[in-house]
Amino acid sequence: MNSTQSSPVAFFIIQGLASLGEKKMVLFIIFLLAYTIILGGNIMIIYLVRTDPKLGSPMYFFLHNLSIVDMIYTTVTIPNMLSGFLTEVKTVSVPGCFIQMNCFIHMSVTGRALLTAMAYDRYVAICNPLRYAAVMTRPVCLLLIIGAWTFGAICTFPTTSMAMQRSYCGPNVVRHCWCDPSSVRLLVCGDTQVDSIVSLSSALIALLTTGVLILTSYILIGVKIAKMGAAQRLKAFSTCAAHLTVVSISYSSASFVYISYRVGNFSPEVRIIVSVLYSAVTPFLNPVIYSLRNKELRAAIKRAFCRHRDVSPQGHKTLNTLS
C-alpha cells in the first residue's frame, strides 16, 4: 500500500452542509449555543468533582472522566463544523484529517467504555453494598479508567491505520462536516471492501462489547431490585436513573445513525444532520441529566455558588457588615 505522503492529494475539502444556503447561519447559532452549553456544563462537573470533597465517590470520578471525553469529542468536530458554516471552502490537511478521525472514533468508544465502568459501579453499589468500599477502591477505579481509554485506542487503531496507508488521488471532497471514516473512504483510489469490513467489525466490537456488559449489569441490578421492598426499590432506582437515561439516549441515537447510513431513502444531507446531532446530543444532555437527576450534584452546585458568593467583593462587604 502507498502511504499518504506519496498521495497526490495534499488536502481535503470538507463539503459540510453547503447545500443549505442561508439556513447555515441558523444552524451556526444553534450549534454555537449547544457547544457553549456543552463546554460550560462539563467544565462545571469537572470543577465540582475536583473541588467538592463530598463528590469523592467512584461514580463522580467516572463522571469527571466522562466529561473530559465529551469535551474532547465535541471540540474535535463542532468548531470545525462551525468554521465551515462561515467559509465558502473549508479545507483540512491530510494529516489533520486523520488526527481528527482518530480522536473522533477514540473518544466515541472511550465514552461508551466509561459508561460501562459506571454501570459496573452501579451494579456493585446496589447488588453488593456492604462490599462496595472494598471493591471500588481508588486503584480499581484507575484501572477501569485506563482500561476504557485503552479499549478505545484498540478499537480505533485498525480503522485509522488502514485509512492512513491508503492512497487518495481525487476527488478530495469529503461529503461530511468532518473527516468521517465512511466519507473519507469513498475517496480512496482502489478497492476498499477490506477497509469497510475492518471498520464495521471494530464498530460492532466496541458497541456490542460495551452494550452487552451494560445490559448484563442492569439485568443483575433489576433482579436485585425486584427482591427489595418499595422504599429500598425507589432508592436503588434513583441511584442509577441518571446513568440509565444517558445510556439509553447514547445507544438509541447511535442506532439511529447506523440505520440512517444503511437505509437508501435518506438523502446525504439528512445523514450528515443525523450524525451531527448524534455527536452533540449526548455530550449536551449528560451534564443536564446528571444535574437534574442527581441530588448530590445539585447540592454541590449550591455549595459552589455559596462559596463564590462568600469570596466575592459583595460577600466580603456582607461579612464585614455582620462583624
Q: Please tell me the total number of residues recorded for the chain in this structure.
A: 323
The pLDDT value given to residue 261:
65
**Ramachandran angles phi, psi of 269, nearest 5°:** -65, -40
323 vs 320: CA distance, rounded Å? 5
The number of folded domains in the chain is 1
Under the banding of pLDDT at 50, 70 and 90, the label for residue 6 is very low
Please determine, for residue 116, whether its predicted confidence score (pLDDT) is greater than 50.
yes
Residue 296: what residue type? E
Under the banding of pLDDT at 50, 70 and 90, the label for residue 28 is confident
Contact 68/46 with Cβ under 8 angstroms?
yes
Q: Is residue 322 part of a domain?
A: no
Q: Is residue 26 part of a domain?
A: yes
266 vs 243: CA distance, rounded Å? 31
What average pLDDT does the segment 276-297 reach? Answer: 79
Q: Is residue 197 part of a domain?
A: yes
169 vs 196: CA distance, rounded Å? 19
- Higher-pLDDT residue of 193 and 19 is 193
pLDDT tens-place string over residues 221-240: 999 998 888 888 888 888 88
The CATH number of the domain holding residue 170 is: 1.20.1070.10
The pLDDT value given to residue 262:
63
pLDDT tens-place string over residues 140-152: 999 999 999 999 9
Q: Is residue 106 part of a domain?
A: yes
Please determine, for residue 219, whether its predicted confidence score (pLDDT) is greater than 60.
yes
Please determine, for residue 75, whether its predicted confidence score (pLDDT) is greater than 70.
yes
Contact 63/19 with Cβ under 8 angstroms?
no
235 vs 295: CA distance, rounded Å? 12
Q: Is residue 184 part of a domain?
A: yes
What average pLDDT does the segment 247-267 reach? Answer: 73
Helices 94-127 & 138-165, crossing angle to 10 degrees? 150
The pLDDT value given to residue 245:
86
The pLDDT value given to residue 323:
44
Q: Is residue 321 part of a domain?
A: no
Q: What range defines the domain where residue 279 resides? A: 11-297
The pLDDT value given to residue 109:
94
pLDDT tens-place string over residues 150-195: 999 999 999 999 999 888 887 888 888 888 888 898 888 888 899 9
Under the banding of pLDDT at 50, 70 and 90, the label for residue 319 is very low
Q: Which three cell numbers stand for residue 234?
A: 425507589
Q: Is residue 159 part of a domain?
A: yes
Residue 246: what residue type? V
Q: Is residue 54 part of a domain?
A: yes
